[in-house]
Structure 1
């Protein structure tokens, strides 16, 4: 299993309950595919460095996890089709 980290930004127009459900959704996807979540860090609402989809703010979340190499591909696909996520990145965490 390799270590990864993902950061994603949820639209600021959704309520806190929806943000929490999106975080739980991605935690569930990681755990259901055999991944192990090491850390979930919710940063809250932050100002974006530049405008994305006409939004200047977003809810940031960082998740560190270990999984097989196929899981990040599936996670990326689900990030792309989730309407409330405006930006995401998944990187190999080799420290």
Structure 2
């Protein structure tokens, strides 16, 4: 049997319980056709980059599948018929990832490695100007002289 990662997007007006029922329905389709479903992750309601069928958001779900190709084709056929599924994508993989997927790992901005080590420049406050790049030369402001009429 082949290994697959399958992600699908469900409509935004569905509840989390309805999305779970949808996942269980497709898990049943895979198992009825001789396959197994490993990890299942619900990524939650996320914004879409562009609207799909008048939806601005969608519920994302990931399934790790170990099944023959006809089982996956049957699941995709049923997803095409179902109006609650906006998009889906199935990818064949060499092996399934261990642990949580990249979408489930919370990354903070401060967790990223810095390019130049631990020397972080001081944070600029509102109204601060960056240092000039042309050395110490700064032009003096012009004196104010009232215009004669």
**Do they superpose with TM above 0.5?**
yes
- Supply the RMSD in Å over aligned alpha carbons: 1.1
Offset of residue 50 of structure 1 = 1.5
**Structure with more strand by fraction:** 1
Quote the Cα distance in structure 1 between the aligned partners of 2:49 and 2:6: 18
- The structure number with the bigger radius of gyration is 2
Normalised by the length of structure 2, the TM-score is 0.61
Q: Which blocks of at least 5 consecutive residues in structure 1 are unaligned? A: none
- Is the contact made by 2:29 and 2:74 (CA closer than 8 Å) also made in structure 1? no
Q: Which 4+ stretches in 1 moved above 2 angstroms?
A: none
Give per-residue Cα distances to partners, 1:3-37, cap 9 Å, x unaligned: 01110001011222211211110111111111111
Q: Secondary structure at the match of 1:14?
A: coil
**Structure with more helix by fraction:** 1
Normalised by the length of structure 1, the TM-score is 0.92
Offset of residue 94 of structure 1 = 2.4
Q: Which has the higher contact order (CA 8 A, sep 6+)?
A: 1
Question: What is the 5 A alignment of 1:32-51?
Answer: 32-51=32-51
Q: Which blocks of at least 5 consecutive residues in structure 2 are unaligned? A: 96-149
Number of aligned residue pairs: give it: 95
Quote the Cα distance in structure 2 between the aligned partners of 1:16 and 1:36: 23
